[in-house]
Amino acid sequence: DAVFYRVYVPSFTDSDGDGIGDLPGIRDRLGYLELLGVDALCLSPICPSPMVDHGYDVTDPRDVDRRWGSLPAFDALLTEAHAHGLRLVVDLVPHHTSEGRDWFRAALASAPGSSERARYQFRPGRGDGGAAPPNDWPSMFGGPAWTREPVPVSDDADGDDGRREWYLHLFSSAQPDLDWTHADVRADLETTLRFWLERGVDGVRIDVAHGLCPPADLPDLPGDPRLDQDAVHDVHRTIRATVDDYTGRMAVGAVAVAGPERLARYVRPDELHLAVDVVLAHAPFDADAVRKVIERCLTAVGAVGAPATWMLADHDVVRTVSRYGGGPAGLARARAMALVQLALPGPAFVYNGDELGLPDGAVPVEARRDLVWTHAEDSRDGSRVPLPWDDTLPGLGFTAGSSWLPIPDAFTALCAATQLEDTGSTLSLYRQALELRRSHAGFRGGEPEWFDGPLGCFAFRRAGTSLVCVLNASPAPVPLPAGDILLVSGPLEYGLLPPDTAAWL
Ligand code: GLC
């Protein structure tokens, strides 16, 4: 039932003025995070990376990128996080590597059919001279999921094109997919897991946990054979067995599958401890829709004896304030949903900056850094804009240099330092909510028991306790059920719960 605080490392705090966040920057904020009241930090990937996908393209899974710091800086962060009572989770990316990893460079330098190539998904092309991709799969980032290997420098222009293979990448062409049937690939993850667990991390996040094992014959669509194949569960059993060699550690998968019932398969007793997905984040601000998602998730994971993990936002989706409509209403709804999220049984993931009520930052086209932008209308940069800390400092306390993504003027009014002083701020709301979640017995109660309320509203009680959470997503103020008010996400109106507001009783 921990509250995990998801740190998007590039955007959290920059300690050395290069404009991008780093590990010493996180270390400087541990006091803040302790005050906020979260239980654990879950960092975005920190391994060496050319940053095509800001760390989700890894060249060495067992080191720290110099932009973020070093292994000693990581050890110092871990030790100090523990001293602050905070657990630390690292993000591993076993689905693909960077094109810069030694393995991939060796694969390109070796002939088709070589053992070096077998760690990745190389295939001959289809059609005349192999000029068409091996199948019809699209990449998650747009365009085909295949790239043809470059012409070797040694070849002259009319070299034999037919020899050039294609490699698979569900994400960008700079992120070649590994072949999970290869023993080296499996052994390498185990080495990586042990490397970080031996250093003392409390958990690992497994990126794209549902995408590791496409069928060997890579069949064409439909039916999306790219993802959620049965073979992947064997990998998760191996991960679980390795993590279980260490006391008190856990693995959380980032799982994007067809629904909670499929997700539940990843948290069966011998697989991952937790799985996060975007179902709650994708639900509109509508009481019925939110309730349905909650009930469906609880039923699905309950069937395998696992807790449901709740997440309203991460670095891949639009921030809650903007998603729920922006402006004062968007902020009110985001605050209300935070109380709903934190009243549910099971762990919660809070995305950094959500405790400040940040909206997506408007990033001008010329400043965009997300590679998805090359294929899509918009980018994920808006939710990745650096955090505003202190309006009396240059770069709002994020950086003394030039920020890697521009921080909009609107963030000046949302700095953490100012919000800490203001009892009505979103930061104060989160602090109070997290404090209550820790100290009040109601939060140790059972699953939600729903009761009917006015149209557009819901209320649930945590079974066996007197704790009630009420959400008003209707356009009119509604009376509150009987009970003492513990916390409200916004001011009451003449004793009534206004629209876009939630309360704990
Ligand atoms: C995960 C990450 C996302 C990244 C992708 C490819 O979905 O959350 O940010 O782009 O993996 O590694």
Q: Whose CA is nearest to atom 12 of ligand 1?
A: 56
What's the pLDDT at 163?
82
What's the pLDDT at 374?
64
Contact 129, 162 (CB under 8 A): yes
The finding on whether 207 has its CB within 6 A of some atom of ligand 1 is yes
Q: Examine the pLDDT at 150 and tell me if it is beyond 60.
A: yes
The finding on whether 351 has its CB within 6 A of some atom of ligand 1 is no
Q: Whose CA is nearest to atom 3 of ligand 1?
A: 316
Distance, in Å, from the CA atom of 468 to the CA atom of 457, rounded to the nearest integer, reads: 13
Q: Examine the pLDDT at 428 and tell me if it is beyond 70.
A: yes
Distance, in Å, from the CA atom of 132 to the CA atom of 124, rounded to the nearest integer, reads: 9
Cis amide bond preceding 477, omega within 30: no
pLDDT digits (tens, 9 = 90+) for 53-86: 999 999 999 999 999 999 999 999 999 999 999 9
Atom of ligand 1 at shortest range from CA of 172? 6
* 12-16, 172-176, 217-221, 495-499: segment of lowest average pLDDT: 217-221
What's the pLDDT at 376?
65
Contact 385, 363 (CB under 8 A): yes
Distance, in Å, from the CA atom of 449 to the CA atom of 53, rounded to the nearest integer, reads: 42
Atom of ligand 1 at shortest range from CA of 95? 12
Q: Is the pTM of this model over 0.85?
A: yes
For the segment 127-131, the average pLDDT, to the nearest whole number, is 93
DSSP string, 457-503: EEEEEETTSS-EEEEE-SSS-BPPPSS---EESS--BTTBB-TTEEE
The finding on whether 8 has its CB within 6 A of some atom of ligand 1 is no
What's the pLDDT at 162?
65
pLDDT digits (tens, 9 = 90+) for 239-286: 999 999 999 999 999 999 999 999 999 999 999 999 999 999 999 999
For residue 182, the CA-to-ligand 1 centroid distance in Å is 22
Q: Examine the pLDDT at 156 and tell me if it is beyond 60.
A: no
For the segment 404-428, the average pLDDT, to the nearest whole number, is 97
What's the pLDDT at 223?
74
pLDDT digits (tens, 9 = 90+) for 44-54: 999 999 999 99
What is the average pLDDT value for the chain, to the nearest integer? 95
Atom of ligand 1 at shortest range from CA of 57? 12
What's the pLDDT at 378?
76
**What is the residue type of 253?**
G
For the segment 289-308, the average pLDDT, to the nearest whole number, is 98
Q: Whose CA is nearest to atom 7 of ligand 1?
A: 208
Query: Percent of the chain scored above 70 by pLDDT?
Result: 97
Torsion angle of the four alpha carbons 365, 367, 371, 372, in this order, in degrees rounded to the nearest 10: -30
The finding on whether 179 has its CB within 6 A of some atom of ligand 1 is no
Q: Examine the pLDDT at 191 and tell me if it is beyond 70.
A: yes
For the segment 121-144, the average pLDDT, to the nearest whole number, is 94
The pLDDT-based confidence of 161 (bands split at 50, 70, 90) is low
pLDDT digits (tens, 9 = 90+) for 442-473: 999 999 999 988 999 999 999 999 999 999 99
Distance, in Å, from the CA atom of 451 to the CA atom of 456, rounded to the nearest integer, reads: 13
Please list, residue by residue across 429-456, b when 16 or more beta carbons sit within 10 angstroms of its beta carbon and e when fewer do. Answer: bbbbbbebbeebebbebebbeeeebeeb
Taking alpha carbons only, the member of 477, 493, 481 closest to residue 453 is 481
